[in-house]
Structure formats: structure tokens, C-alpha cells
């Protein structure tokens, strides 16, 4: 029994594991004949930061979409804690340049919270100064903060962030991960994030789940970084050094290349 396309995580199965916000068991997802995910398990507990890592094409985003009810599992069970509120920050958001949209209006599109509350949440993510600015005129880092603010407007028990640090320079990335940690501490919400960035993942995460269309390994950052399947997936030298640069992806799948990732991959080859 699967939850259908959900309405922000309200429809649920009542499970016995009430401490868990999300319990994914044996998740399979097909796209046509292609199997995108095979037998993936994942749990998220209260106030826990879980990072989902894996090479490009590993199905990380698909796991998230399944949890959000945006994609129908072909097998497996996804259990959400009753009444669970999820705040979602999507991976890419390109605003059509013909649409004039100030940040304040973008936040209002969520349909929750009043103007004062929206302003406060934008300040909470450190982007109060872009309130009146058009979405098309703010920087990559500001954009990610605005997206995070929109997710927070729902007062979520669980934040789901799909590559929150993309299109941000290295210093900005550190600041963003730090802020995600602060938000978790202050709001006591759990966080599930997809990340490419092993360095930050290992530093700012309670638990790491590593997938490559199937579940490779899961556990604390320490355990995972010593796991043979993890070392095989990311290469021993990268894994052991906690990579100063982003890890080298599986090039067979590497089609999504944002500029930052390409640079990082190139730098990595030199180092």
C-alpha cells in the first residue's frame, strides 16, 4: 500500500514506529522498463540530519520525490508519521524571465503564513535584504536561502533539501550548511538532504545514506566513510581524505553538469 500523490505529507499510514518521521522499506521505482531504484530502505528520526549521497544518476532525487509522493513506487512501503509536515526545497528553480516576481511574492505563493511571518522567516535564513528584489536579480546563494525560507514557512517537522548548496561558492556553502544545522537545533525539525559534497556531508550530518540505484551503505559519517562499498563508489583517496573538493562522479551518468561541479571535477583530477 502506497501513499498516493500527497498533499504535503498529510496522508499517512499509521505505523508502530512512532519515533520515526519517515520509514521507507524496500522501495522500488521504475521509469518505463528502467529500474531507477531497487530495494532502498531509509528512516528519518526526530530532529535528525540525514544526508543522501551517491553518484549522479544514483536516484537520490527519486528517493526524495517518492517520499514527497511525487512519484509512485512500483514496490515497497513508505510510512509517514501521522500529521507530518514536510518543507521541500527543490533542486533547480528557473524563473521564466518574462515573469516579474519579487521575493516577497514568491514566498506568498506558498499560501501559508502572513506577510509579517514571511518577512521573519526570510530574516531567519539571512536574506531579509532581498524582500523587495526581483527573483531574477538575486544571487545563487540568496536564491537558495529564499527557497529554504519558502520550505520553512510550512513550519515543517521535516525539511527535505535537494542539493541545497548548488550554485553557491565554497564559503557560501559552508555558511549554508552551518545555517541548516542551526535551523535544526532551533526548530527541532529533521532534515533529509541530497548532497554531492562529501566534505560538508561528513561534517554536518548525523547519518549518511549512500545509494547507487540500490542501497550501498548507511550509518554515521564515520562508519560510512570506512565502508568498502562507499570506498569503491567514491574512490579510496577521495573518501579517506574527506575530499577538499567535491568527489569525482561516475562519468557514465554525468549529464547534469552545473558549472561548479565541472570545475570541481577538473580540479580534482589535478589534485
Binding site for another protein (CB under 8 A): 5-8, 10, 65, 68-70, 86, 88, 90, 93, 95-96, 98-102, 105-106, 108-111, 134, 150, 154
Judge contact between 45 and 21, C-beta under 8 A: yes
Report in angstroms how near the CB of residue 200 gets to another protein at its nearest.
Answer: 24
Report in angstroms how near the CB of residue 242 gets to another protein at its nearest.
Answer: 32
Report in angstroms how near the CB of residue 227 gets to another protein at its nearest.
Answer: 31
- CA–CA dist 96, 166 (Å, integer): 19
Give the nearer residue to another protein in terms of CB position, either 111 or 116: 111
Give the nearer residue to another protein in terms of CB position, either 19 or 109: 109
Report in angstroms how near the CB of residue 104 gets to another protein at its nearest.
Answer: 9
Closest Cα partner for 153 from 87, 219, 95?
87
Give the nearer residue to another protein in terms of CB position, either 93 or 188: 93
C-alpha cell belonging to residue 122 = 526570510
Closest Cα partner for 90 from 29, 40, 151, 34?
151
Closest Cα partner for 190 from 219, 218, 145, 160?
160
Report in angstroms how near the CB of residue 18 gets to another protein at its nearest.
Answer: 23
Between strands 34-45 and 20-31, the pairing is antiparallel
Give the nearer residue to another protein in terms of CB position, either 131 or 242: 131
- CA–CA dist 184, 128 (Å, integer): 20
Give the nearer residue to another protein in terms of CB position, either 157 or 243: 157
DSSP assigned state of 235: -
Report in angstroms how near the CB of residue 210 gets to another protein at its nearest.
Answer: 24
C-alpha cell belonging to residue 3 = 501513499
- Helix crossing, 115-124 with 140-152: angle to 10°? 130
Residue-level length of the chain? 271
Give the nearer residue to another protein in terms of CB position, either 69 or 141: 69
Amino acid at each position: 500500500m502506497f501513499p498516493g500523490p500527497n498533499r504535503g505529507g498529510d496522508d499517512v499510514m499509521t505505523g508502530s514506529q512512532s519515533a520515526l518521521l519517515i520509514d521507507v522499506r524496500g522501495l522500488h521505482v521504475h521509469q518505463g522498463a528502467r529500474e531507477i531504484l531497487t530495494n532502498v530502505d531509509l528512516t528519518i528520526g526526530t530532529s535528525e540530519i540525514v544526508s543522501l549521497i551517491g553518484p549522479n544518476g544514483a536516484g537520490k532525487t527519486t528517493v526524495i520525490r517518492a517520499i514527497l509522493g511525487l512519484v509512485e513506487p512500483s514496490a515497497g512501503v513508505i510510512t509517514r508519521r501521522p500529521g507530518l509536515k514536510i518543507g521541500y526545497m527543490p533542486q533547480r528553480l528557473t524563473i521564466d524571465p518574462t515573469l516579474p516576481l519579487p521575493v516577497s511574492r514568491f514566498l506568498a505563493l506558498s499560501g501559508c503564513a502572513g506577510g509579517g511571518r514571511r518577512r521573519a522567516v526570510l530574516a531567519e535564513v539571512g536574506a531579509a535584504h532581498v524582500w523587495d528584489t526581483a527573483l531574477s536579480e538575486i544571487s545563487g546563494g540568496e536564491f537558495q536561502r529564499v527557497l529554504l525560507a519558502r520550505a520553512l514557512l510550512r513550519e515543517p517537522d521535516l525539511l527535505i533539501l535537494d542539493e541545497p548548496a548548488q550554485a553557491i561558492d565554497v564559503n557560501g556553502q559552508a555558511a549554508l550548511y552551518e545555517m541548516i544545522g542551526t535551523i535544526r537545533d532551533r526548530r527541532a525539525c529533521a532534515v533529509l538532504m541530497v548532497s554531492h559534497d562529501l566534505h560538508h556531508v561528513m561534517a554536518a550530518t548525523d547519518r549518511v545514506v549512500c545509494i547507487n540505484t540500490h542501497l550501498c551503505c548507511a550509518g554515521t559519517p564515520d562508519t560510512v566513510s570506512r565502508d568498502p562499498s562507499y570506498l569503491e563508489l567514491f574512490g579510496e583517496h577521495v573518501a579517506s581524505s574527506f575530499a577538499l573538493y567535491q568527489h569525482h562522479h561516475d562519468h557514465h551518468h554525468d549529464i547534469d553538469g552545473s558549472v561548479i561541479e565541472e570545475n570541481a571535477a577538473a580540479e580534482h583530477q589535478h589534485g
